[in-house]
Amino acid sequence: MAVDSPSQSVAKAAGDSVARGRSRGTGTPRRAAKRSLSTHWYAWAMVAPVVIVIGVIIGYPLVRGIYLSFTDANERNVARSIGVNEIPASYEFIGLDNYKDAITGSQFLGTLGWTIVWTVSCVALTFVLGLGLANILNRKIAGRSVYRMLLVLPWAVPGFVSVFAWRFLYDERRGILNQVLAGGGIDAVPWLNDPTWAKFSVIAVNVWLGVPFMMVALLGGLQSIPGELYEAAEMDGASAWQRFRHITLPGLRSVSTTVILLSTIWTFNMFPVIFLLTRGGPGEATQILVTQAYKFSFEVSPRDFAQSSTWGVLILVLLMVFAAFYQRVLRKQGEVW
């Protein structure tokens, strides 16, 4: 505080003249800019490495991706070298055609529909299960740390290893799941080979992978709720459900809003689970937007960079709209981050 108080007053002065928050210093003269340079350079120096890395490695590809989405670039017309011959790029700018095709065609909308079903069910299930387990682990219970360690295990195992483990379990002829079912006299279930079962299976795996993160985050949140609140509530005769409803849930608000937002974004773009488990199959049944975009630029022939970028940009726009909407709803309820 001691050091950044001058900068704060600068910010306030500027912020008052401009409406609220956004782009401070627009109305301030050059002198203030100079002064802000001297007070802010510490902060800027500390964030500089991140800004540079992200600017170069994400910024440029992003701009290029957006540009490609307005062209008809594919494997045959991008710049490439065959032997010693350099062949220059010959793709053309075609405006919004790719977007028109994507939005009017049935493929994008169909994939989007399943992506939304996938995201909502995964996030809802992981949150509910994570919350339940976190609540149990937050009590005094014998062997608590052992349980916690076992429950966090799926998070500690690299994703491609656990996906391999699950494929092994799901194997239609020799997998343990079907062997157990056969022991009970039930016919083999085509876990990954039937469109409906495959959808169920990928969701199950993703929930299995996602619960530990939710649980740990919510457990942290639970432990920061002062115990006196519960004691006071008990004195007043509040039931377990009332305590959960009126102390636990409000106390977890800020943690939950963050993890739900993050987990929605991650699930929406969850490439490895779908890609390694089913490759989007059977048919295109479990293909989500990201895996389909990847397929366009790596697996179809000729590789269609333009369409892939178009889908990528649409994914980005959808998520940004969601995040902005989400934040607005929170702000209306008095929560600001």
Partner 1 sequence: MTTTTPTPQTVNIQTVNTPVRGRRSPLASVGLHVTLIVASVIAVFPVLWVLLTSLKPAKYATTTDFFKETTLENYTNLVNDTPFLTWFGNSLLVAGLTTVVGVFISATTGYAVSRFRFPGKRGLMWTLLVTQMFPVAVLIVPIYNIMASMGLLNQPAGLVITYLTIAVPFCAWMMKGFFDTIPREIDESGYVDGLTPFGTFWRLILPLAKPGIAVTAFYSFITAWGEVAYASAFMVGDENLTLAGGLQKFVNQYGAQWGPMAAASVLIAIPAALVFLFAQRHLVTGMSAGAVKG
Residues in 66-125 at the binding interface with partner 1, rule: CB under 8 A: none
Residues 6+ apart with CB under 8 A from 302: 74, 75, 76
**Listed ranges 52-60, 98-106, 116-124, 195-203: which one lies at the site for partner 1 (CB under 8 A):** 52-60
Residues 153-212 that bind partner 1 (CB under 8 A): 153-162, 164-166, 168-169, 171, 174-176, 179, 208, 211-212
Q: What is the rounded CA–CA span in Å between residue 178 and residue 82?
A: 50
**Listed ranges 39-47, 82-90, 101-109, 328-336: which one lies at the site for partner 1 (CB under 8 A):** 39-47
Whether omega before 282 lies within 30 degrees of 0, making that bond cis, reads: yes
**Listed ranges 3-11, 102-110, 118-126, 195-203: which one lies at the site for partner 1 (CB under 8 A):** 3-11
Residue 21 tokens read as: 């928050």
SS in 3 state form for 34-99?
A: HHHHHHHHHHHHHHHHHHHHHHHHHHHHHHHHHHHCCECCCCCCCCEEECCEEECCCCCECCCHHH
**Listed ranges 87-95, 106-114, 193-201, 291-299: which one lies at the site for partner 1 (CB under 8 A):** 291-299
Asked if 129 and 214 count as a contact pair (C-beta separation under 8 A), the reply is: yes
Taken in order 162, 168, 172, 178, the sign of the CA dihedral is negative
Residues 124-153 that bind partner 1 (CB under 8 A): 129, 132-133, 135-137, 139-142, 145, 147-153
**Listed ranges 85-93, 103-111, 194-202, 304-312: which one lies at the site for partner 1 (CB under 8 A):** 304-312
Q: What is the rounded CA–CA span in Å between residue 191 and residue 11?
A: 58
As measured in angstroms, the least distance from the Cβ of 198 to partner 1 is 17
Is 65 a residue that touches partner 1 (CB under 8 A)?
yes
What is the separation of C-alpha 11 from the centre of its chain, rounded to a whole number of angstroms? Answer: 33
Is 218 a residue that touches partner 1 (CB under 8 A)?
no
Which of 13, 18, 25, 281 binds partner 1 (CB under 8 A)? It is: 25
In the complex with partner 1, the residue whose CB is nearer, 160 or 325, is: 160
Is 276 a residue that touches partner 1 (CB under 8 A)?
yes
Count other C-beta atoms under 10 Å from residue 201's C-beta: 24
Is 325 a residue that touches partner 1 (CB under 8 A)?
no
Q: How many residues bind partner 1 (CB under 8 A)?
A: 113
What letter represents residue 116's amino acid?
I
As measured in angstroms, the least distance from the Cβ of 97 to partner 1 is 18
In the complex with partner 1, the residue whose CB is nearer, 84 or 142, is: 142
**Listed ranges 83-91, 99-107, 118-126, 302-310: which one lies at the site for partner 1 (CB under 8 A):** 302-310
In the complex with partner 1, the residue whose CB is nearer, 234 or 335, is: 234
Q: Alpha-carbon dihedral of residues 38, 43, 45, 50, nearest 10 degrees?
A: -150
As measured in angstroms, the least distance from the Cβ of 114 to partner 1 is 16
As measured in angstroms, the least distance from the Cβ of 221 to partner 1 is 10
Is 250 a residue that touches partner 1 (CB under 8 A)?
no
Which of 107, 199, 230, 330 binds partner 1 (CB under 8 A)? It is: 230
Is 278 a residue that touches partner 1 (CB under 8 A)?
no
What are the residue ranges of helices labelled H in the chain? 5-17, 30-54, 60-68, 97-104, 106-137, 144-156, 159-170, 176-183, 195-223, 227-235, 240-243, 249-251, 253-268, 271-277, 289-298, 305-332
